[in-house]
Amino acid sequence: MTIRVRFAPSPTGMFHVGGARSALQNWIYAKQQGGVFVLRIEDTDAARNKPEWTEGILSALDWIGISRGSYEGPYFQSANAGEHRAAAARLYDSGRAYYCDCTREDVQARTGSQYQGYDGYHRDRGLGPGPGHALRFRTPDEGATVVVDLIRGEPTFENKLIEDFVIARGDGSPVFLLANVVDDMTMGITHVIRAEEHLPNTPKQQLLWEALGVKPPIWAHVPVVVNEKRQKLSKRRDKVALEAYRDEGYLAGAMRNYLMLLGWAPSGDREIVPWSVIEDEFRLDEVNLSSAFFDEKKLRAFNGEYIRALPVAEFIDACQPWLTGTGTIAPPPWQPEEFDADAFAAVAPLAQTRIAVLSEIVPNVDFLFLASPLIDEAAWTKTMKDGSAELLDDAVAAFEALESWDAESLKSTLEAVGAERGLKLGKTQAPVRVAVTGRTVGLPLFESLEVLGRERTLTRIRAARLRLV
């Protein structure tokens, strides 16, 4: 038997990081088993679906390493509508489903509670199809439904506690529960790997599989992803869009590595490991049962490690979207003609050790490409104290006299300027840094001045001095 797994997102918004984790888990499992990864776009919610969201799913999968052409699909759920309706008809004709015209208010009136489920009122009343008549599945009165789950063992659900659930609406359109089952049957899905939030629906789906005469798949419900308050990650409350992390400058390798650690860990006391190790070692039956905390701070630290591990040439290439403003990345504050590739290459090794996401490259190097620095006014106020004007005068005079414009000479010269005033280098260089770069923090100052050059450095220090008049 060929293992067939599927990833079935809905094109109703940005690509959720939890969905990305599910896609990777399905992808790896299929690869390990010599199986097939199927992509199905569940697009039956016409009011919320947008073509750009579908393209966003495909692009996001490309980015994390599940590239187009390497999987089966994408299929679209809407194209299988005929099969959905046919399955509903078979269930009705076989007596496994019946029609019901009860409204929610009717059910509440009979049960006396808005919290009780449907009471089977129309089970044996012989109501036929018609406008406003929903089709309900006839759940067995006795016995239990056992779900074979690679992670959770064999969760068991008493059938008497499962209400007769709706499988087709009053207008005849099948609900998602039935459509999902029929699609999996049509596509020959053998294993369903998804988040535990779907577990309550699983006995209903398994009953549908059995009623339609097909052996159910093997299930695997992985832990839900939660925020720091242990609440399920929400698009309304949390930063969950994979595209947002991509556009902020997270590396695909770091994101893949981190997502796979949500509920699972490789062997040994290690977390940052080559993707080949994850592909080799990941096991569904080793996934934890407890919720998985998506820690953005930890992801950021991961990403910094991945950035620092890049060869410098690859780091320079990776920064290009932020340096040029390509694709979905906002343009930098300088004009294209102001960018100096050689100057960037000179400071790239310095920047690589200091940033955690690639978007941070812009505020670290913008001083090199702008006619004048972008002054952080809070930094200016904090740094330019009494005596700063005279210190800048001395720095200009000392720098003008330098024969060699290199980092070591610049450092020793400014150190001497400070010593004459009884200042340590840190206090001495702070006003110079703000004057030249506009900020109190950034790349090593003296290497930056070397790349910026004598003329531009002196011009900026003089301009800052005039502002202090």
Q: Could you give the percent of the chain with pLDDT greater than 70?
A: 98
CATH of span 372-467: 1.10.10.350
Contact 375, 464 (CB under 8 A): no
How big is the CA angle at 93 (ends 92 and 99), to the nearest 5 degrees? 30
> Which pLDDT belongs to residue 327?
81
> Which pLDDT belongs to residue 67?
95
Q: Model-level pTM?
A: 0.91
Does the annotation list 235 as a binding residue? Answer: yes
> Which pLDDT belongs to residue 112?
62
Which member of 50, 160, 235, 239 is catalytic? Answer: 235
235-273 pLDDT tens trace: 888 899 999 999 999 999 999 999 999 999 999 889 999
> Which pLDDT belongs to residue 113?
61
The alpha carbon of residue 371 and the mean position of all alpha carbons in its chain are separated, in whole angstroms, by 37
Is the model's pLDDT at 115 over the cut of 70?
no
> Which pLDDT belongs to residue 234?
83
Is the model's pLDDT at 430 over the cut of 70?
yes
290-312 pLDDT tens trace: 999 999 999 999 999 999 999 99
Residue 235 designated active-site: yes
Write the DSSP assignment of 115-147 as a string of letters: SS----TTTTS-----TT-EEEE---SSSEEE-
CA dihedral 297, 302, 304, 308 (to 10 degrees): 170
> Which pLDDT belongs to residue 326?
87
End-to-end CA distance of the chain: 82
Does the annotation list 102 as a binding residue? Answer: yes
Strand partners, 136: 98, 166
pLDDT (mean) for 359-381: 96
396-417 pLDDT tens trace: 999 999 999 999 999 999 999 9
The alpha carbon of residue 155 and the mean position of all alpha carbons in its chain are separated, in whole angstroms, by 30
28 sits in which H/E element:
helix 17-32
pLDDT (mean) for 415-423: 94
Is the model's pLDDT at 469 over the cut of 90?
no
> Which pLDDT belongs to residue 346?
97
Q: Where in the chain is the domain with CATH 1.10.10.350?
A: 372-467
pLDDT (mean) for 419-448: 96
Does the annotation list 124 as a binding residue? Answer: yes
